[in-house]
Chain A
């Protein structure tokens, strides 16, 4: 038996070495820099496992391949994660200011704008890269700024770039504090950033909080049926939280379920980063287009925020439009910080959180819209 048949290091390719380094960097970012450690540590470790020659972890029959088949290809992992996410989110800031849902809607433009750009570069016109209509849609969905939605849409559309899309979506969420501030500052004057928003008097009734997930599922499901699995799981989790009679289930969804699925999802996504498939020019462009998507989201959200500011007689701070991107809660924190920088007494966290959780619903609807439209034009 030749040594090359059982010694991994004799089979190292340059792609495997690069991916082992990338895996190491992801783990380092998570541990040393505390950048989305819950996601980057499992993803980075999965990437290392997948690129050990002869390890077989992500080859047919390997445990990462089995997890990929069972959790990603069946779309189960993102849906289970959404139950946990729904149980964690308090929609009260949104219910106090329901109009913020329009900011969430506007901020989904990054998805469609990036889709158009990716398709233009790919099969649509320039043929620079191998991007089909489905691939372009999967790349665009990075702009949902929502990992589970990105995984779900890219998997349903069977994109070749699912792994790159998922890694980009998750890693850029961590980079929201770097991507958004320069765009917001460029679009909003200091006077606009300093604009205070009045607090909303009164509270949202418990009945409204209970009815909200049921009504949302009905409205979204009936008008954008392809979004039903995602919005259904998100709102089911939220109903567990708000109904007040299944506290054990709510806590299980927020903790045990979310944590277990995050571990499995993270390591599986990392396992999809095999060097031979991942290291392609297209992957680099997917990452660049991911930044474009987040930037377009922010621009579109702030533009509608400015319009609302004018129409409301300067009662709405245009910066909260940037929170329509669903990267919850990073985006709200960014706006809160920028508001305080412009005016030390300007606390925007609650209205920003309202737009942020509205963006979560909007991004799911955008994913459903994409899944409805792409088959019609393929």
Chain B
């Protein structure tokens, strides 16, 4: 016997179950959306550190490859 084929006196119980089901389902969905939000936070920070980490590596490499010329160093002194 399925829930929906129960006698009429079980309507109240059915209604409660329906409410609980929808509440739980919506809570599950909301939990899911908050999980998505958490993913956005984690992925966002990961993207920032990854992109800027690559930029840092390239700039450090560039700093080693491209030294100031003698004239520029003299100007600095």
Contacts and interface: CB of A to CB of B under 8 A. Distances in A.
27 contacts: A99-B56, A101-B52, A105-B52, A108-B48, A111-B44, A115-B41, A116-B38, A119-B34, A120-B34, A124-B37, A125-B30, A125-B34, A202-B73, A203-B68, A204-B68, A205-B66, A205-B67, A207-B66, A208-B62, A215-B55, A215-B58, A223-B54, A224-B51, A365-B47, A365-B48, A374-B40, A377-B39
B72 A219 contact: no
Contact of A120 (B37, B53, B68, B75): B37
Nearest to B34: A124
A104 interface: yes
A372 interface: yes
A361 to B, nearest CB: 7
Given A116-B41, A223-B50, A208 B66 contact: yes
- Of B49, B53, B73, most buried by chain A (CB within 10 Å of CB) is B49
A362 interface: yes
B62 to A, nearest CB: 6
Contacts of B39: 377
Contacts of A124: 30, 33-34, 37
A269 interface: no
A317 B39 CA distance: 32
A349 interface: no
Interface of A: 95, 98-99, 101-102, 104-105, 108-109, 111-113, 115-116, 119-120, 123-125, 133, 136-137, 202-208, 211-212, 215-216, 219-220, 223-224, 358, 361-362, 365-366, 369-370, 372-374, 377
A230 to B, nearest CB: 13
Contact of B58 (A102, A113, A137, A219): A219
Contact of A205 (B34, B44, B50, B69): B69
A113 B41 contact: yes
A370 B48 CA distance: 10
A102 B72 contact: no
A192 B23 CA distance: 51
A233 B23 CA distance: 48
Interface residues of B, number: 36
Contacts of A361: 52, 55
A116 B33 CA distance: 11
B17 interface: no
A115 B40 contact: yes
Contacts of A212: 59, 62
A95 B34 contact: no
Contacts of A362: 48, 52
Interface in B1-46: 30-31, 33-34, 36-41, 43-45
B73 A112 contact: no
Contact of A211 (B54, B62, B68): B62
B56 A101 contact: yes
Contacts of A113: 41
Contacts of A111: 44
A366 B56 contact: no
Given A216-B55, A223-B54, A369-B47, 15 more contacts: A98-B56, A98-B59, A119-B33, A120-B37, A203-B76, A205-B68, A206-B68, A208-B63, A208-B66, A215-B59, A219-B51, A219-B55, A220-B51, A372-B47, A377-B39
B38 to A, nearest CB: 7
B44 to A, nearest CB: 5
The 7 closest A-B pairs by CB, nearest first: A203-B76, A205-B68, A369-B47, A112-B41, A98-B59, A377-B36, A369-B44
A99 B60 CA distance: 9
Contact of A101 (B34, B50, B55, B62): B55
A133 B37 contact: yes
Nearest to B75: A203
B35 to A, nearest CB: 10
Contacts of B45: 105, 108-109, 112
